[in-house]
Structure 1
Amino acid sequence: MKRYSPERKEAVLRKLAPPMSLTVPEVAEAEGISTASLYNWRRQAREQGEILPSRGSAPEQWSSEDKFRVVLETAAMNEAAFSAYCRERGLYPEQVEAWRASCMSANAKTGEHDAQSRQARKQEQKRVKKLERELRRKDKALAETAALLTLSKKAEAIWGRNDEDE
């Protein structure tokens, strides 16, 4: 098993990161490193907080976790640092601002979603109670019909068949 220096790993991982955003198979072929090693390196780098998107080069296809990391990293930056960060990563400031707005509104949507789900749950409970009442009513009607049928058969067995019934 080959050992790679930390500098070599860092250089290879930079090829996976924006703005180059090459895919793992492309980097593996170009560098002569196994894809399994590259996937492991990428996973380890992500665990350390680096932004290494797994889907192609288009930032809009990044995972929500990667987008959130960008928002966190840029939250305290001034405008010049923010612009430099975006240029370095191959991002548009408008994209990051849209991601930030999405993150900010996420909790508000959860509150609305909770209210909607509570209302839907109440409606479902009402529907279930109505169906249970109807089921009990039909069970009683079925039991009554079965009892009448049994009684009519017993009466027929005791007194015989009545000609008027035919």
Structure 2
Amino acid sequence: KMELMPVYGPQFKEQIVKKMMPPHNQSVAQISRDTGVAVPTLYSWKKLFRNQGFVVPAKSSRPDDWDSKAKLAAIIQTAALNEAQRSEYCRQHGLYPEQLDAWKAAFESLEPDSEPASKADLAQHRKKLKQLEKEILRKDKALAEAAALLVLSKKAQAIWGTKEED
């Protein structure tokens, strides 16, 4: 007989994912042991809820280690809240209001041009760098050869003298 996979309701999924969120911050492995839900299933639920705008930390349970997407989501979710609501949000998610302020300031201070270069740009720069390094190597060899010829010609002149002395 083939076993059917269990079907979990949306309330159950949300309840489980909330255990991964602050202030509980339970690990996926721990929740899997407690509930019997497979680890890959828990990761897919976590990803699903993150894509829906929930602040579910990617890896670390410490807010300062959250990835930039989670930090930005927290800033956006608290932007329209008053001070009391914002404080409540922070308590629920294991944050301090100062952390939100610092994250917001960091995002605002980013230069639009400070985005990482595309892979094509990086590849082009690497190619140019390699080309320039080859050119420097070629010129170094030519310079060394010219210096060797100059030294040899001076030694030859010292031994046999110049043609003008004849």
Alignment TM class, shorter chain as reference: 0.5 to 0.7
Distance (whole Å) between structure 2 residues aligned to residue 131 and residue 3 of structure 1: 65
The answer on whether the counterparts of 1:23 and 1:56 sit within 8 Å (CA) in structure 2 is: no
Letter in 1 for 2:143: K
Distance (whole Å) between structure 2 residues aligned to residue 59 and residue 27 of structure 1: 20
Q: Taking structure 1 as reference, are residues 34 and 140 closer, same or farther at Cα in structure 2, changes over 3 Å only?
A: same
If you compute each CA radius of gyration, which structure gives the higher value, 1 or 2?
1
The answer on whether the counterparts of 1:18 and 1:57 sit within 8 Å (CA) in structure 2 is: yes
**Superposition pairs for residues 127-146 of structure 1, below 5 Å?**
131=136, 135=140, 138=143, 141=146, 145=149
Report the number of matched residues.
137
Distance (whole Å) between structure 1 residues aligned to residue 65 and residue 73 of structure 2: 14
Q: Taking structure 1 as reference, are residues 84 and 109 closer, same or farther at Cα in structure 2, changes over 3 Å only?
A: farther
Q: Which runs of 5+ in 1 are unaligned?
A: 112-120, 153-163
Partner of residue 59, structure 2: 55
Letter in 1 for 2:6: K
Shift of 1:73: 1.2
Shift of 1:57: 2.3
SS at match of 1:33: coil
The range that moved more, 4-13 or 46-55, is 46-55
**Superposition pairs for residues 15-164 of structure 1, below 5 Å?**
15-107=19-111, 110=114, 131=136, 135=140, 138=143, 141=146, 145=149
RMSD: 3.6
Distance (whole Å) between structure 2 residues aligned to residue 88 and residue 109 of structure 1: 35
Q: Which runs of 5+ in 2 are unaligned?
A: 116-124, 161-166
The answer on whether the counterparts of 1:71 and 1:100 sit within 8 Å (CA) in structure 2 is: yes
The answer on whether the counterparts of 1:24 and 1:39 sit within 8 Å (CA) in structure 2 is: yes
Q: TM-score, normalised by structure 1?
A: 0.67
SS at match of 2:47: helix
Percent of aligned positions that are identical: 34
